Structure 1
C-alpha cells in the first residue's frame, strides 16, 4: 500500500472513530415523546431525529409503551431502537401521513446513510383502520383516488420506505399491519435485515419485504407472513438492477408468492443467492422469476428450499409487457436440494385476505419454465429436487392434450400478467417447459398421489435438455408415457 493510500485509510478510520465516540443514546422521553398511545408524537419524534443527526448521531430509544405517530423522516447516523414492549403506533388519521407524495410511509428515508431500526419492539401501522379511513375520505370526494377493485390505489402508507440509502441495519424488530407494502428498500446499498418478523395481513397489497434495485443486500433469519408476495425482488429502473443479494434462513407465508422476482422487472437481477428457506400455506408459487418488462436475470442460486402447502412449485417466465422494445432474459439459474408439496385444496383458505380463485377451469398447474419464441430461458439446472403433487386431475373438468395441434394451440400470452395459472390448463402434471435452451434434470423425483390423465413432463421448443435420474411416481402408471417432446431435443 502506498503512503498516500495509508494516510487516506488512517484519516477515514479516524473520522469513523470520532463519529462513533460522538454517537450517543437518547431516551425518547428526553424530547417530550409520550408513551400513552393517544398523544400524537410526530413532531416530537422528528425533532429528536433531527437533533441526534445534527449532534453526531446516535440511538433514539423507546421503552415500554405505545408511541403514536404519523410520518417521520430518518436522518443520517440515527438508529431508532425499540426495546421489548415498545410499540411505534401508526396514526389512523390519513392526514398524519405525507398524502399525495410518492411512496407515502410511516417511516421514510431518502438519500441518508448509517441508519437503523433495531430492538425487540413493534412497529404497528394499524393499516386496516388507516385504509378504511382513507376510503371514507375518497368516497366523500376529499381525496381523489381511482379505487381499483374498490381499493385505494394511492396514498396508503407503507410501514417502512427507504430510497437511495447506504449502510442500513434493520434488526430483531416486528413490523405488522401495514396499509400497503410493508417494507421497501429502493436503490439502497449495503443493507442488513436480520432476525425480523413481519406479520401483515391487514389489507390488500401487503408485500412483506420488497427489495428494489439494491446492491449488497442481506435478508437473514427472518419470518414473513404477508397478504401479498412475502419476499419480493423488484426492478423499477431500466438502468438499475438488484445485485449481490442474499436471502438465507427465512420462513415465508403469503396469499400470493413466497419468494418472487418481479413482477416489475425493468433492469434486472444479478448474483442472487437464496439459501435454506421455507415457504408454507402460500397461494401462488413457492419460488418464481417473472421478467415481463425487459429485465435481465443472471446467476441465481436457490439451494435448500422447502415448501409445504403451496399452490404452485416453481414458475420462471419471460414476458413482453412494459418492455418498450427491450428483450428480457433469464440465464443461469440453479435450483437444488428442493422439496415442495402442492395440495389439492386452496392452500391459503381461512387467511384474512385470501388469493383470488382465478383462471379457472383448470386442474393443478405444474411447475413451469416458459420463455418466448426466439427468446428462450437459458441454462437451468434442477438438481436433487422432489415435488409432491395431489394428482387426480379430471379431463372432464378441464383438458389439454399433447398432440402437436393441441400444444401449438397454447397461447404465448407475452403481454399478460405473468402468473403460473395464466395459461389455465397445461398438458403436464409435474413440469411444463416451453422455449428453453439448456436445462438439466439431475436426481429429480416427481410424485403424484393419485392417477393423472396428463404426462409428468412436456417439453415444447426445448433444446439441449438433459434428464439424469428422473423418477416418476404415479399410481397405475405402468406403460404410461411420462415425457412428451414437441419440437424438442434431448442430449444423449
Structure 2
C-alpha cells in the first residue's frame, strides 16, 4: 500500500514537469499530494548543505586585527577640515591606511565626527573603522572619484563600465570595514544625476568595491544612500558580512549587496532596504561561486529582495538561505518606488552558467508581487570577443518551510525555454497568501517566451494565469504540503502547470 501511494506521488512530481501546457492541478490535489517524503535528491542536498553551513560557521571567522591604531588626524588632517575639505580628508585617510599597511596591519579609525572623502584604497592587513557617532561622507564632486580599473577584466567591466567607488580594494588579504558609525554616500539624484539602466552607470559611483580579495570582513557598519550599487564583492574568498544595516533608497540602480563569483561566504544578522535588488548574487566574474550561507537576515526591495542574476556567466552551487524575511519595504521604511517587491526570491540564469544545489528554508515573504520566481533564459551576454554560451542549467532547487502574506496579485511562476528546462524543484511546507486579481489574467498560451532579454518577474503580465504558481518547461517539480490562497474572489486556479494527468492519491 505504501509503495503504491509513493509511486503515485512520484508520478505527480514527474507529471508536473512535462506534457500538456494549461492543465489545472486543483487545490484539492495540492492538498492530497503532500503526504509523502521529499525526493531523495532533496534530502541528500539538505544533509550536505547543513554540513557545509556547520563547516563555514566553524572556520570562516573574522581575522585577528593587530592592536595598532592609526588616526587620520595624525596624518595631516587638521581640526575642522573633515567636514569642509574632501581632498584633505581623502589624503589624510589614505596616508593613515598606507602607514597601517606598512606597519604590518591594524585599525584605521575615524572617530572625530564627519569625514568627507573621495576614493580611498584599502590595503592588506587594514581594518577601516567608522566609530560610533562618526560618519564617512562621500564627496559630491565626481572629480574626487578617479577610475580604478580591474587588473583582471570581467563582464562587469566590459559591459557595465563601473569603475568608480568611494572605498576600493584589489588583490588584498585580511581587509575589512567595521564600526558602529555610518558611511553615507549622499547619492541623491541632485548630487549624482543619471539614467536608470541595465548596463553602465557613468557618473554614479559605488560605495564599496572589492575585487580578487581574501579574508574580507564587513561588520556592524551602517551604509546609506549610494549613488549606485552600495557594495560589490567580486571573486573574493572567505567573505564574512555580519550585522550590517543598509538603507539604499536614494537613486537609480540602488542595489544593497552584490556578491559576484565569490567562494566561502557568510551573510548573517543583516538588514537591507534598497530601491533595486537587496541581496544579489552574480557570475560576471566568470569564476565558480560556491559554499554560501545566508542566515538571520531581513531583505527589502522595490525590485528583487533575494536574487541570482542577471549576469550568470559563472557557475553557482551549494547555497543555503535560512531564517530570513524578504519582500517589499513597509510603510515605515523609505521607498522611492513601489511598496511591493517585484520578486521575493528570484533565481535567474540567462547567460549560460549553472545554478544548482540551492536550499531556502524558514523564509517569510511579504509585500511581493511574485514571491517565488525561477527563470532559465538565453540572453548569452559575455565579454566582447567571447563565444556566446548555450543556455545554462537551473536545477536542484528547494523551497522548504516558506510562508507569505500581504503579497500582490501576479503570483509565483517558474519558466524555462523550449531548448532547456528547469529541472528538479521541490516546494515543501509552503503556505503563501496572495491578493485577489481585479482584472482578467493573461492566458497561458499568450505568455511570451522572452528568452533573450533582461529578465524580471514584471516582464510578463500584471496578472499571470494562476494566482499561486504557474510553470512552463519545468521537469520534476515536487509539491509537498503546498498551499496558495488569496484574500478574495479570484477566477484563476491556484496552480497551472505542465501536467499530463491529475492523479488521485
TM tier relative to shorter chain:
0.7 to 0.9
Match of 2:433? Answer: 388
2:237 pairs with one of 189, 193, 215? 189
Match of 2:176? Answer: 116
- Matched residue of 1:316: which SS? strand
Higher mean displacement: 59-68 or 412-421? 412-421
Match of 1:259? Answer: 306
Match of 1:307? Answer: 365
Please list every run of 5 or more consecutive structure 1 residues that lacks an aligned counterpart in the other structure: 1-18, 136-144, 345-363, 402-406, 461-484
Match of 2:11? Answer: none
Q: How does 1:89-238 map to 2 (within 5 A)?
A: 89-99=137-147, 102-128=162-188, 131-135=189-193, 147=195, 153-238=201-286
State yes or no: 1:452 paired with 2:490: yes
- Partner Cα distance (2:228, 2:365) in 1: 26
State yes or no: 1:319 paired with 2:388: no
State yes or no: 1:413 paired with 2:477: no
- Partner Cα distance (2:430, 2:279) in 1: 22
- Partner Cα distance (1:64, 1:456) in 2: 58
Match of 1:12? Answer: none
- Partner Cα distance (1:338, 1:275) in 2: 10
Asked whether the equivalents of residues 137 and 184 of structure 2 are also in contact (C-alpha less than 8 Å), the reply is: yes
1:255-307 Cα deviation digits (max 9, x unpaired): 11110111111112100111111124242111010111112111001011112
- Partner Cα distance (2:487, 2:100) in 1: 61
- Partner Cα distance (1:412, 1:42) in 2: 50
1:272 pairs with one of 292, 312, 319? 319
1:355-399 Cα deviation digits (max 9, x unpaired): xxxxxxxxx21211111114111111101100101124433xxx4
1:179-213 Cα deviation digits (max 9, x unpaired): 01001101100010100100111101010000000
- Partner Cα distance (1:454, 1:339) in 2: 21
- Partner Cα distance (2:399, 2:64) in 1: 42
Offset of 1:410 from its aligned partner?
A: 2.9
CA 1:148–1:184: 2 relative to 1, 3 Å: closer
1:316-374 Cα deviation digits (max 9, x unpaired): 00000125232211111111111112445xxxxxxxxxxxxxxxxxxx21211111114
| TM-score, length-scaled by structure 1 | 0.79
Offset of 1:430 from its aligned partner?
A: 0.7
**Per residue, is there more strand in 1 or in 2?**
1
Match of 2:400? Answer: 336
State yes or no: 1:38 paired with 2:84: yes
Asked whether the equivalents of residues 70 and 106 of structure 2 are also in contact (C-alpha less than 8 Å), the reply is: yes
Offset of 1:314 from its aligned partner?
A: 0.4
Q: How does 1:354-365 map to 2 (within 5 A)?
A: 364-365=409-410
Asked whether the equivalents of residues 393 and 453 of structure 1 are also in contact (C-alpha less than 8 Å), the reply is: no
CA 1:113–1:491: 2 relative to 1, 3 Å: farther
Q: Bigger radius of gyration, 1 or 2?
A: 1
Question: Which structure has the higher relative contact order (CA within 8 Å, separation 6+)?
Answer: 2
- Partner Cα distance (2:167, 2:406) in 1: 37
Offset of 1:216 from its aligned partner?
A: 0.5
1:78 pairs with one of 122, 126, 130? 126
Asked whether the equivalents of residues 318 and 357 of structure 2 are also in contact (C-alpha less than 8 Å), the reply is: yes
What value does the CA root-mean-square deviation take over the aligned residues?
Answer: 2.3
Asked whether the equivalents of residues 169 and 193 of structure 1 are also in contact (C-alpha less than 8 Å), the reply is: yes
Q: How does 1:233-248 map to 2 (within 5 A)?
A: 233-238=281-286, 240-248=287-295
State yes or no: 1:400 paired with 2:424: no
Asked whether the equivalents of residues 307 and 346 of structure 2 are also in contact (C-alpha less than 8 Å), the reply is: yes
Q: How does 1:470-489 map to 2 (within 5 A)?
A: 485=499
- Partner Cα distance (2:504, 2:290) in 1: 33
Asked whether the equivalents of residues 305 and 344 of structure 2 are also in contact (C-alpha less than 8 Å), the reply is: yes
1:372 pairs with one of 392, 414, 417? 417
Offset of 1:408 from its aligned partner?
A: 3.8
CA 1:286–1:108: 2 relative to 1, 3 Å: same
CA 1:34–1:286: 2 relative to 1, 3 Å: farther
State yes or no: 1:439 paired with 2:484: no
- Partner Cα distance (1:94, 1:21) in 2: 33
Asked whether the equivalents of residues 196 and 252 of structure 2 are also in contact (C-alpha less than 8 Å), the reply is: no
- Matched residue of 1:53: which SS? helix
